């Protein structure tokens, strides 16, 4: 019986694959690099010759040459590695031919089954350094659908997980493995549960994987071949500690483990937690003079807290032809700055991104951001791993919590041999961070730039008017204010982050710079445990300031003078752009920074007193930054502050000038009107009460008469009745002319008396 052709083809494929696997295994074993060896750097031409001699393509064959398996420890191209045809085809199709340094160093060790702890600069291609070994391992193990999960990749967040999964899809497209990106969120959990047991490759966040380990029936990870942890220093950090430990405890001990990050952990404790066995420590840039990408230019600028938004706005206006990623420290700040700037229309499309967004929304935003020039405001959800090509600028408006985060943030630009620029705003109170960045051991070539006050656009007033129009934004602004201070307060590095260095005036000016009419109260400090003594008590910022050092408080003379300047340009929003089209290479620095400082890398940061001094000559917006917390500030047409009472008078009166006499007249009038109203109300109330009383009495009277009438019919004499009524102390009605005469005997007389009484009463009240 002839077998169906497809079965024959399938068998042939199986046989071919089995042959290929045998060849690969033999090659991997015979040509593997010695432990601890690294390929020579590529820049050296003599090393290239040496590579060619040793066995690269130039040496006359891939895999086997002259009957011997070639060494692959020094090769430079993917197709010189002992990789399956499927992976090589995938790489070629995705456009990858030459290996990056980390790939050259890590892949040979990872392919021969060793555990690897890899560190390399941001954007240097670490993802392929673990995706390729993972695919190859499963392929050589002939992993199939019935084998379940064979590879787990842990990523700190869902965006990065999605990105890694895409690389698996691209490079592994010719393999038949199934896989999924398993990230948080309620949606999709049931679907995931239904399919996860049949998947081979899982790229997931630790929390979601743990959820499946606990909830999904038949979900078994006991056979996995390879565990990868990307952004290992973060995943092994406190935040994920419990989750990662729980996950790892459910994995088999015999497996390969690969750990990668731009800022690597070497903590023995951490490595023990994931049971790395005799790992290869590969830090390809450990000897490099910088830890950041070579194509990255980095600048720092000392900007007072209350000038940060002005500076950011001015920056955006000067870089309309760029793709800029802006980091802020909280979701609320991101939302606030994005919403407010959007209303102010800078002339470039704006986007925002934070962790509270749905995954699909985030994906859509990233896709849009990739399309053209725009500004993306983001929290640190974007700081690590995210790979967007051609980001021109990374601007850090808020100080990163440590050097590692700085490195990851700036690493969103200048990726894979591209060029890029990064700018960080540091408050004068955070100058310690600048010292740390500049320290030799940090290996961060950062240049100090002096702000060009001539180009600085003051937008606080514009923001304030936006907030008046959109009260929701005012609420958001308040929350952004509080959250920012909270984030500073909660940072552990008190050398850099110390709220006590900020004065009450700083906070008030900062609130004003966000367009807030009132400085929000900051109460969170007193609610924290382990609060340094100086912050304790029924705290508001006033008390914090008292413990600060005076020299750092009064950095800005404008604050001293209670003044924040305004450029007085009513046409601010629609001001014409400079003739030049601004882009990465057209000497922008001269626009935002003073010319004389561009080459200066060693200057001490100038005290921020310089900011805006020139435009002080122009019209001034006077804001009393010393006003007590909770005091509303209003402005007149001239930009002067006016007390709330004056603003009432202005609304009522016709003139432009605030007239004190008018105010008191208005108050006197209001008082008189109020008294009159009060009198009328009282009379009305009395009248109602009396009428009620009278009605009650008449009702009683009628009832009594009815009883009396009934009594006279039944029994007793008149004298008895008189006695009875008198003894009960009831009032009796008398005719004034016939005083003493008992009229109750006569019903007509009674009726007359009632009518008379009613008449009298109504007269009295009318
Ligand atoms: N061999 C290569 N040839 C060409 N491009 C490559 C190569 N390897 C990686 N890339 C590209 O370089 C970019 C950065 O790669 P990847 O995201 O893996 O960097 P990374 O080192 O993981 O960065 P980060 O530390 O920021 O996560 C990607 O766009 C990727 O496609």
Residue 543: how many CB atoms within 10 A of its CB?
Answer: 17
CA 416 to ligand 1 centroid distance, Å: 6
Q: Which tens digits make up the pLDDT trace of 215-244? A: 999 899 999 999 999 999 999 988 899 999
Mean pLDDT lowest among 145-159, 401-415, 487-501, 670-684? 670-684
Mean pLDDT lowest among 40-49, 218-227, 532-541, 549-558? 549-558
| pLDDT for 547 | 36
Task: Average the pLDDT over 65-94 and give the result.
Answer: 92
> Does the structure show a pLDDT above 50 at 349?
yes
- Residues 456, 382 within the same domain: yes
| pLDDT for 321 | 95
The closest residue, in CA terms, to atom 7 on ligand 1 is: 125
Q: Binning pLDDT at 50, 70 and 90, where does residue 549 land?
A: very low
Find residue 563's DSSP bridge partners.
622
Q: Which atom of ligand 1 is nearest to the CA of 94?
A: 31
Our count of domains for the chain comes to 2
- Residues 315, 267 within the same domain: no
- Residues 116, 211 within the same domain: yes
- Spatial CB neighbours of 343, under 8 Å, sequence gap ≥ 6: 466, 469, 470, 473
Q: At CA 337, angle to CA 460 and CA 262, rounded to 5? A: 130
The gap between the terminal CA atoms of the chain, to the nearest Å, is: 121
33: left (phi over 0), alpha (psi -120 to 50) or beta: beta
| pLDDT for 448 | 94
Whole-prediction pTM: 0.70
- Spatial CB neighbours of 450, under 8 Å, sequence gap ≥ 6: 301, 593, 594, 597, 603, 605, 606, 610
Task: Please name the residue ranges forming H helices in 441-562.
Answer: 460-469, 471-490, 504-513, 524-527, 541-546, 550-553, 557-560
> Does the structure show a pLDDT above 90 at 281?
yes
Is residue 600 one of the residues assigned to a domain?
no
Instruction: Choose the final residue of a domain: 283, 298, 330.
Output: 283
% of the chain exceeding 90 in pLDDT:
50
Find residue 641's DSSP bridge partners.
635
Mean pLDDT lowest among 102-106, 333-337, 540-544? 540-544
Is residue 259 one of the residues assigned to a domain?
yes
- Residues 22, 127 within the same domain: yes
| pLDDT for 267 | 73
Q: Which residues of 673-695 are buried (b: 16+ CB within 10 A; e: fewer)?
A: eeeeeeeeeeeeeeeeeeeeeee
| pLDDT for 757 | 62
- When the pLDDT of each residue in the chain is averaged and rounded to a whole number, the result is 77
Q: Binning pLDDT at 50, 70 and 90, where does residue 679 land?
A: confident
Residue 123 beta carbon below 6 angstroms from any ligand 1 atom: yes
Higher pLDDT, 525 or 725: 525
Mean pLDDT lowest among 317-331, 393-407, 444-458, 692-706? 692-706
- Residues 300, 219 within the same domain: no
| pLDDT for 648 | 39
Task: Average the pLDDT over 189-201 and give the result.
Answer: 89
- Residues 451, 479 within the same domain: yes
- Residues 233, 345 within the same domain: no
Higher pLDDT, 634 or 216: 216
Among 309, 349, 311, CA closest to 333: 309
Residue 128 beta carbon below 6 angstroms from any ligand 1 atom: yes
Is residue 362 one of the residues assigned to a domain?
yes
Q: Which tens digits make up the pLDDT trace of 175-186? A: 999 999 998 766
Q: Which tens digits make up the pLDDT trace of 613-626? A: 333 334 444 444 44
- Residues 184, 216 within the same domain: yes
Pair 272, 257: CB distance under 8 Å: no
Is residue 476 one of the residues assigned to a domain?
yes
| pLDDT for 309 | 97
| pLDDT for 380 | 94
How many residues are recorded in the chain?
Answer: 766
Take residue 14 and report the two structure tokens written for it: 């199986």
Is residue 569 one of the residues assigned to a domain?
no
Higher pLDDT, 284 or 103: 103
Strands 64-65 and 226-230: unpaired
CA 127 to ligand 1 centroid distance, Å: 6
Is residue 137 one of the residues assigned to a domain?
yes
Residue 175 beta carbon below 6 angstroms from any ligand 1 atom: no
Mean pLDDT lowest among 193-207, 474-488, 733-747? 733-747
Instruction: Please give the Cα distance from 118 to 102 (Å, whole number).
Output: 8
Task: Average the pLDDT over 428-450 and give the result.
Answer: 93
- Residues 335, 362 within the same domain: yes
CATH of the domain at 326: 3.40.50.300
| pLDDT for 699 | 85
Instruction: Please give the Cα distance from 468 to 128 (Å, whole number).
Output: 51
> Does the structure show a pLDDT above 90 at 137?
yes
Pair 225, 138: CB distance under 8 Å: yes
Q: Binning pLDDT at 50, 70 and 90, where does residue 145 land?
A: confident
What is the residue range of 475's domain?
289-529+552-558
Instruction: Choose the final residue of a domain: 263, 283, 303.
Output: 283
Take residue 208 and report the two structure tokens written for it: 């979601």
| pLDDT for 670 | 65
Pair 404, 263: CB distance under 8 Å: yes
Residue 122 beta carbon below 6 angstroms from any ligand 1 atom: yes
> Does the structure show a pLDDT above 60 at 654?
no
- Residues 246, 302 within the same domain: no
% of the chain exceeding 70 in pLDDT:
69
Residue 73 beta carbon below 6 angstroms from any ligand 1 atom: no
- Residues 293, 229 within the same domain: no
> Does the structure show a pLDDT above 90 at 79?
yes
Pair 432, 495: CB distance under 8 Å: yes
Residue 87: HSE in the Cβ half-sphere, 13 Å Cα cutoff: 26
- Residues 338, 450 within the same domain: yes
Reduced to 3 states (helix: H, G, I; strand: E, B; else coil), residue 6 is: helix
The torsion defined by the Cα of 150, 156, 161 and 163, in degrees rounded to 10, comes to -130
Among 228, 586, 177, 571, CA closest to 385: 228
Is residue 414 one of the residues assigned to a domain?
yes
CA 125 to ligand 1 centroid distance, Å: 3
Instruction: Choose the final residue of a domain: 558, 578, 605.
Output: 558
Instruction: Please give the Cα distance from 121 to 660 (Å, whole number).
Output: 68
Residue 411 beta carbon below 6 angstroms from any ligand 1 atom: yes
Q: At CA 601, angle to CA 599 and CA 602, rounded to 5? A: 130
Is residue 567 one of the residues assigned to a domain?
no
Q: Which atom of ligand 1 is nearest to the CA of 120?
A: 21
């Amino acid at each position: 019986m002839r077998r169906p052709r497809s079965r024959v083809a399938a068998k042939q494929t199986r046989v071919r694959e089995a042959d290929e696997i045998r060849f690969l295994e033999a090659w991997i074993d015979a040509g593997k690099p010695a432990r601890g060896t690294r390929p020579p750097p590529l820049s050296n031409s003599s090393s290239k010759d040496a590579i060619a001699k040793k066995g690269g393509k130039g040496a006359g064959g891939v895999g086997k040459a002259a009957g011997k398996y070639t060494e692959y420890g020094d090769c430079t191209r993917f197709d010189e590695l002992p990789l399956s045809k499927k992976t090589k085809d995938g790489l070629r199709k995705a456009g990858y031919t030459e290996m990056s340094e980390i790939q050259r160093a890590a892949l040979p060790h990872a392919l021969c089954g060793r555990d690897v702890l890899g560190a390399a600069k941001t954007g240097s291609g670490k993802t392929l350094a673990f995706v390729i070994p993972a695919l190859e391992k499963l392929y050589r193990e002939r992993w199939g659908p019935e084998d379940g999960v064979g590879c787990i990749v842990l990523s700190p967040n869902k965006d990065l997980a999605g990105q890694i999964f895409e690389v698996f899809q691209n490079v592994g497209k010719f393999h038949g493995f199934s896989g999924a990106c398993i990230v948080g969120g309620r949606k999709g959990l049931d679907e995931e549960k239904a399919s996860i047991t049949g998947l081979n490759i899982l790229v997931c966040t630790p929390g979601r994987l743990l959820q499946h380990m606990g909830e999904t029936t038949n979900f078994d990870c006991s056979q996995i071949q390879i565990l990868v942890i990307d952004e290992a220093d973060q995943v092994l950090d406190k935040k994920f500690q419990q989750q990662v430990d729980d996950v790892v405890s459910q994995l088999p001990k015999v497996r390969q483990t690969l750990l990668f990050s731009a800022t690597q952990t070497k903590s023995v404790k951490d490595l023990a937690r994931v049971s790395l066995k005799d790992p290869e420590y590969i830090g390809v840039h450990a000897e490099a003079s910088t830890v950041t990408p070579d194509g990255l230019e980095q600048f720092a600028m000392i900007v007072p807290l209350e000038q940060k938004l002005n500076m950011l706005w001015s920056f955006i206006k000067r870089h309309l032809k760029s793709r800029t990623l802006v980091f802020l420290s909280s979701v609320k700040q991101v939302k606030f700055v994005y919403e407010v700037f959007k209303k102010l229309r800078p002339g470039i499309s704006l986007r925002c991104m934070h962790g509270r967004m749905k995954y699909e929304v985030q994906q859509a935003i990233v896709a849009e951001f990739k399309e053209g020039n725009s500004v993306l405001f983001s929290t640190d959800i974007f700081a690590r791993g995210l790979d967007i090509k051609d980001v021109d600028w990374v601007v850090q408006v808020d100080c990163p919590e440590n050097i590692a985060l700085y490195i990851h943030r700036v690493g969103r630009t200048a990726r894979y041999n591209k060029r890029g620029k990064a700018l960080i705003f540091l408050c004068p109170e955070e100058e310690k961070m600048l010292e740390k960045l500049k320290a030799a051991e940090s290996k961060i070539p950062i240049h100090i730039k002096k702000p060009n006050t001539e180009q600085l656009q003051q937008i606080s007033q514009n923001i304030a008017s936006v907030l008046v129009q959109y009260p929701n934004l005012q609420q958001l602004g308040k929350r952004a204010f509080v959250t920012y201070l909270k984030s500073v307060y909660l940072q552990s590095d008190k050398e850099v982050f110390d709220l006590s260095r900020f004065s009450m005036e700083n906070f008030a000016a900062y609130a004003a710079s966000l367009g807030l009419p009132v400085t929000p109260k900051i109460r969170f400090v007193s609610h924290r445990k382990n609060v340094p003594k100086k912050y304790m008590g029924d705290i508001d910022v006033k008390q914090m300031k008292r413990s600060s050092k005076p020299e750092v408080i009064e950095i800005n003379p404008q604050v001293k003078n209670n003044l924040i300047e305004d450029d007085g340009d009513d046409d601010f929003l629609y001001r014409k752009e400079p003739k030049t089209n601004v882009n990465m290479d057209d000497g922008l620095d001269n626009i935002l920074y003073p010319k004389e400082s561009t080459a200066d890398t060693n200057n001490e940061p100038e005290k921020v007193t310089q900011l805006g001094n020139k435009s002080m000559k122009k019209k001034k917006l006077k804001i009393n930054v010393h006003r007590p917390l909770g005091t509303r500030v209003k402005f007149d047409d001239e930009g002067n502050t006016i007390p709330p009472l004056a603003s009432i008078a202005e609304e009522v009166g016709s003139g432009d000038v605030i007239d004190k006499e008018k105010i008191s007249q208005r108050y006197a009038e209001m008082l008189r009107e109020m008294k009159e109203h009060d009198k009328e109300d009282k009379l009305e109330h009395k009248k109602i009460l009396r009428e009620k009383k009278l009605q009650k009495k008449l009702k009683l009277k009628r009832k009594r008469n009815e009883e009396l009438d009934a009594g006279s019919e039944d029994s007793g004499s008149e004298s008895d009745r008189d006695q009875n009524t008198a003894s009960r102390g009831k009032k009796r009605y008398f005719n004034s002319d016939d005083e003493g005469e008992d009229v109750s005997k006569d019903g007509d007389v009674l009726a007359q008396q009632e009518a008379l009484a009613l008449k009298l009463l109504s007269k009295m009240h009318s």
